[in-house]
Amino acid sequence: MLQKSAVRILALDDEPFMLKLLSHMLASMGFNSVTLCDNGLTALDQIKGPGIHPNLILLDLNMPGMDGIEFVRHLVEINYTGSLILISGEDERMLQTAEKLVQAHKIQVLGHLHKPVKPDVLLELMERWTPPIQVNPPIVKKVYTGDELRVAMDSAQLVNYYQPKVSVASGEVLGIETLVRWQHPEDGLVLPDLFISVAETSGLINDLTRMVLTQALNQAKEWQQAGLILRVAVNISMDNLASLDFVDFVSDLTTISGVPPQRVVLEVTESRLMKDTRAPLEILTRLRLKRFRLSIDDFGTGHSSLAQLRDIPFDELKIDQGFVHHASSNETLRAMYETSLSLARQLGMEVVAEGVEDRSDWDLLKATGCDLAQGFFISEPMPAEDFLGWVERWKERVSHEL
């Protein structure tokens, strides 16, 4: 049973009339804590401020100035833990896509409303509200400093985890993606989202990439000696592509390791790719000339994806997990997935689907002829020492169930 007094609502819409209407509807349903805002900036101030701490935001997508999608990005930055209801005059498809975008940011969406808003539909969505789950540590994510990260790097607290990339057609393990973790003495295993940007802003990203790549290449060589020939993928930050020595450092490390560049995959995230122009382009092209494999990561989440594809000779395209999981049952996702797939095909790139979480995702890749799969359905990222054991179990699974 919904406890109405626990719901602290913020309604954000640029139309004063709409705000009035919403506040009336909510009041008549028995929701008494309602704050009204007509623009994103004021709303953010309200949320950050000492006062109201909303745990449900009714958000209009179409606003002049800061639109709803941009507003959501800011919510992510301030670690908003409450829920959202999206409101728009746009068509169903648009709302579904927006909902997906928000969910990709791990914010809970109770649903969406078309304008004009109908009270019964609003009430139905309100009833889905549940109190935000308090994760430990509560509400604010820990923010690490560059100094802390430097110490961690100097004392070998960064460890590589590896997630398999497998052939959809045969089940064969073709490669691994390296995903760095911070084995923190007090906080446990810290995920990269909490420290990669710290590395970028404090000038540590080149050193970090160097460490990750060195570890990964050594590991690949060890597996090679154990008879496993794998492609080894490493994530590259946009900031790595700012200085021209990057080409030398990658190719020197690779030469020393004895792993041929054809088996080294550099995954670049598209959304960060668009910012600058010349240096990244030159660096990526030179790496490609040296036969490294270039992969465009999180495809579909950036803004200028098509321009990037035109300008940079990528070998591999990774369809973002947001368009893969549930794509078999959701029309919009499915359309995005299939479009990305056919685009990659036409450009002669290999396609990896990320976020393959269950059997229905896997079956869709099979039916549509996707090349590679990666995701929890196959395996979570794991420490190097678990890998050989996993390979054996995976072979069993392939021969029995896939």
* Interaction partner, residue 254 (Mg ion, ligand C2E, none; CB < 5-8 Å by kind): none
Residues 190-219 close enough to bind ligand C2E by CB under 6 A? 191-193, 196, 209, 212
* Interaction partner, residue 269 (ligand C2E, Mg ion, none; CB < 5-8 Å by kind): ligand C2E
Closest CA to 391 of 181, 226, 212: 226
Q: How far apart are CA 318 and CA 370, in angstroms?
A: 11
235 binds Mg ion (CB under 5 A): yes
| Residue 28 main-chain phi, psi, to 5 deg | -70, -15
The torsion defined by the Cα of 238, 244, 245 and 246, in degrees rounded to 10, comes to: 30
CB nearer Mg ion, residue 27 or residue 191 = 191
Question: Which of 149, 302, 381, 384 is close enough to bind ligand C2E by CB under 6 A?
Answer: 381
267 binds Mg ion (CB under 5 A): yes
Could you tell me if 271 and 301 are in contact, meaning their C-beta atoms sit under 8 angstroms apart?
A: yes
Residue 182 bridge partners (DSSP): 158, 190
Secondary element (H or E) of residue 15:
none
| Residue labelled with tokens 């420490």 | 383
Please, what is the Cα angle at 208 between 202 and 212, to 5 degrees? 165
- What are the structure tokens assigned to 251, written together? 């190719």
Q: Contact region for Mg ion (CB under 5 A) — 8-16, 19-27, 293-301, 367-375?
A: 293-301
Residues 340-359 close enough to bind ligand C2E by CB under 6 A? 354-357
Question: Which of 81, 206, 257, 269 is close enough to bind ligand C2E by CB under 6 A?
Answer: 269
Q: Are strands 173-184 and 316-319 parallel, antiparallel or unpaired?
A: unpaired
Q: How far apart are CA 325 and CA 365, in angstroms?
A: 11
For ligand C2E (CB under 6 A), the number of binding residues is 23
Please, what is the Cα angle at 189 between 389 and 268, to 5 degrees? 80
CB nearer ligand C2E, residue 8 or residue 326 = 326
By rule CB under 5 A, what string of x and - marks binding of each residue 336-355 to Mg ion? ------------------x-
Question: Which of 60, 99, 239, 298 is close enough to bind Mg ion by CB under 5 A?
Answer: 298
* Interaction partner, residue 83 (ligand C2E, Mg ion, none; CB < 5-8 Å by kind): none
Q: How far apart are CA 242 and CA 235, in angstroms?
A: 15
* Interaction partner, residue 390 (Mg ion, ligand C2E, none; CB < 5-8 Å by kind): none
| Residue 171 main-chain phi, psi, to 5 deg | 80, -5
Strand ranges, E, within 67-136 = 83-88, 108-114
Q: How far apart are CA 217 and CA 213, in angstroms?
A: 6
By rule CB under 6 A, what string of x and - marks binding of each residue 147-166 to ligand C2E? ----------------x---
Secondary element (H or E) of residue 265:
strand 264-269
Smallest gap from Cβ 386 to ligand C2E, in A, equals 14
240 binds Mg ion (CB under 5 A): no
60 binds ligand C2E (CB under 6 A): no
Where does 140-277 have alpha helices with state H?
146-154, 196-201, 205-225, 245-257, 270-273
321 binds ligand C2E (CB under 6 A): yes
Q: Contact region for ligand C2E (CB under 6 A) — 27-35, 41-49, 61-69, 185-193?
A: 185-193
Question: Which of 206, 235, 295, 308 is close enough to bind ligand C2E by CB under 6 A?
Answer: 235
CB nearer Mg ion, residue 76 or residue 256 = 76
Give the 3-state secondary structure of residue 295.
strand
CB nearer ligand C2E, residue 55 or residue 379 = 379
* Interaction partner, residue 308 (ligand C2E, Mg ion, none; CB < 5-8 Å by kind): none
284 half-sphere exposure, CB direction, 13 A CA radius: 29
Q: How far apart are CA 385 and CA 224, in angstroms?
A: 14
By rule CB under 6 A, what string of x and - marks binding of each residue 289-308 to ligand C2E? --------xx----------
Smallest gap from Cβ 150 to ligand C2E, in A, equals 16
* Interface residues toward ligand C2E, by CB under 6 A: 163, 179-180, 191-193, 196, 209, 212, 235, 237, 267, 269, 297-298, 321, 354-357, 375-376, 381
* Interface residues toward Mg ion, by CB under 5 A: 235, 267, 297-298, 354
